[in-house]
Amino acid sequence: MKTLHFLVSILALASCVAFAYDPSPLQDFCVAIKDPKDGVFVNGKFCKDPILVNAEDFFKHVEPGNASNPLGSQVTPVTVDQLFGLNTLGISLARIDFAPKGLNPPHIHPRGTEFLIVVEGTLYVGFVTSNQDNNRLFSKVLNKGDVFVFPIGLIHFQLNVGYGNAVAIAGLSSQNPGVITIANALFKSNPPISDEVLTKAFQVDKSIIDYLQKQSWYDNN
C-alpha cells in the first residue's frame, strides 16, 4: 500500500512537471478555433473538427515589421494566436526587424527556448545566466547566417550594431512562449510597483524610480 502511495505521488509530480510545458500532440494536428461550439477534441486549446481543416489553417504570410519606433525594433510573432494550426505542436516563430542601432530590449520567454538566425545585418546578442551561475553574460556578434540559442527563461537581448537594417528569425519551443520585457514589467506595471520595492531593489533614489516610471516603455511585440 505504501509503495502504491509512493508511486501515485511520483506519477502526480511527474504529470505536474509535464503539464508545465506544451503537451505532446495526441493526433496529427489540432487546429485552434475561437468559438468552442465548432470544437471537437480538447488538447491545449479546443481543436477544430478535422473534417473542416484545410491548408489555410497551416499558412501565414509574414510582412516585415515597422521598426520606426523608440526602440528601433519590431517583433512579428507567429504563435498559436496568429497561426491556429500550431496548436499542441510545441513550436512558434517570430520575425524581428531592426532599424540601425535598433534594440530588442532585455526580455524573457517564460515557456520557450529561442533559436535565432540572422538573415540580414549584424546583431550583438546575449543572455545572462541565473543567480546560481553568478549571472554570467554569454554574448556574441552575429552576422548573416549565424545562429544563436537563448535558453528558456533567461534574460536576453539583440542590438543592431551594423550599418543598415537587420532582420532575424527566431524559432521558439512553445506554441505560446510568452514574453516579459524586463523594463516594461518593472516600470510600467499596472498598478505601479511601490517605490519602496523599486528603490531598494535598484539601490537608487525615489526620484530616479519616479523618472523611470514616467517613461513610455514602448512594447515592440
Ligand X SMILES: *[C@@H]1O[C@H](CO)[C@@H](O)[C@H](O)[C@H]1NC(C)=O
Annotated binding site: 104, 107, 109, 114, 156
> Between residues 68 and 194, which has the closer beta carbon with respect to ligand X?
68
- The neighbour count for residue 1, using CB atoms within 10 Å, is 5
Residue that the C-alpha cell 512579428 belongs to = 76
Q: Please, what is the minimum distance in Å from the beta carbon of residue 66 to ligand X?
A: 4
**Residue 123 bridge partners (DSSP):** 142, 160
Q: Please, what is the minimum distance in Å from the beta carbon of residue 68 to ligand X?
A: 4
- Say if CB 91 and CB 175 are below 8 A apart: yes
17-76 binders of ligand X (CB under 6 A): 66, 68
Q: Please, what is the minimum distance in Å from the beta carbon of residue 180 to ligand X?
A: 24
Burial bucket for residue 174 (CB in 10 Å: 0-12, 13-18, 19+):
buried
Sheet holding 92-98, edge to edge: 73-78, 92-98, 166-172, 114-120, 147-150
> Between residues 65 and 85, which has the closer beta carbon with respect to ligand X?
65
121-150 binders of ligand X (CB under 6 A): none
Cα 49 to Cα 29: distance, rounded to the nearest angstrom: 10
> Between residues 120 and 195, which has the closer beta carbon with respect to ligand X?
120
> Between residues 99 and 198, which has the closer beta carbon with respect to ligand X?
99
Q: Please, what is the minimum distance in Å from the beta carbon of residue 159 to ligand X?
A: 20
User: Can you give the binding site for ligand X, defined by CB under 6 A?
Assistant: 66, 68
